[in-house]
Amino acid sequence: MSGNPVLYDHPGPRARVRNAVLTVVFGALILAVLYWIYRKFDEKGQFAAVLWEPFLKGATWNNFIIPGIEGTLKAAATAMVFALAFGLIFSVGRLSDHRWISVPAGIVVEFFRAVPLLLMIFFISYGVPFLIQSSVPPFWSVVIGLTLYNGSVLAEAFRAGVHAVPKGQSEAAYAVGMRKSLVMQHILVPQAARAMLPVIISQLVVLLKDTALGYIVSYPELLQLGVNVLSANFGNVVQAAIVVAAIYIVVNFGLTSLASWIERRSKRRGTKTQPVGPLVDGGAGA
């Protein structure tokens, strides 16, 4: 008998016929639902050319869509950098052997994970000014809110990745005299980041989409300019939402593709054989 476990049984003739029938049935149902949606929109005149015409004009893209994309990418890129740094710092803090570090770090992470992001952005924009006696720009309200929430989620991802690294590697590092800070820096964190890369990228995609919550503080991102402001000028909210949704799909697909390329590249680099330096001790035969 083969020692490999069976993970998947190939379907037999009856199963293949059943799967084919179910595929056709569910495909027909999906097409029927799409056609019903199309008919309902068509009955309300949502496919009238006059409602789509603004998207054929350069002024619409120059005044609404492109500035919205720039605002979204600017806030997302800034928050991604800060969230990764926040997640890395607080994951290390939670893994500390000193309770005066690990306990406060855990409280911070759990608190910001529990608070809804929309409420956090709203409070930073309208509540913090009462504390600092100064207004908070909408850009920083969005960036700080995204950093605190997504950074807390990433902190848990990093911590889970560190725990997933085999203990033998850290034990071997301690055996040769490495301090915990060096073990974390050179052994645990790099491997955890590589292992949790899909989770990290998924969270960064969520972060990019969450920039749309900036509309609550009137931050000029894609949803605010491309849907709210644009539809207020042309009365085509459904069409604007469809176009903006398509743009979000393209941007997120590009980010996911870039992440997949980075993951494949890191795996190829990780499989390369590293040169072994000379032994310090002469070994058993010295």
Read off the pLDDT of residues 70-126 as tens digits, 9 standing for 90 and up: 999 999 999 999 999 999 899 888 888 888 988 999 999 999 999 999 999 999 999
Q: What is the pLDDT of residue 264?
A: 76
Domain-located, residue 46 = no
Judged by DSSP in three states, 219 sits in coil
The b/e string for 118-135 (b: 16+ C-beta within 10 A; e otherwise) is: eebbbebbeeeeeeeeee
Rg (CA), the chain: 26
Domain-located, residue 275 = no
What are the tokens at 264?
A: 């494949």
DSSP code for 5 = -
Q: Write the CATH number for 160.
A: 1.10.3720.10
Domain-located, residue 64 = yes
CB 105 within 8 A of CB 40: no
Alpha-carbon distance of 45 to 272, in angstroms, equals: 60
Domain-located, residue 215 = yes
Is residue 164 over pLDDT 70? yes
More confident residue, 275 or 255: 255
Name the pLDDT band for 158 (thresholds 50, 70, 90). confident
Nearby residues of 180 by Cβ (< 8 Å), 6 or more positions away:
97, 174
CB 213 within 8 A of CB 69: no
Domain-located, residue 159 = yes
For the chain, percent of residues with pLDDT exceeding 90: 44
Domain-located, residue 229 = yes
More confident residue, 171 or 84: 84
More confident residue, 3 or 227: 227
Domain-located, residue 37 = no
What is the span of the domain harbouring residue 242? 52-267
Residue in this structure with the two tokens 């052997």, named with its chain if needed:
97
What are the tokens at 149?
A: 């929430």
Question: Which sign, positive or negative, has the C-alpha torsion 44, 48, 52, 57?
Answer: negative
Domain-located, residue 166 = yes
Judged by DSSP in three states, 47 sits in coil
Q: How many domains does one find in the chain?
A: 1
Q: What is the pLDDT of residue 253?
A: 87
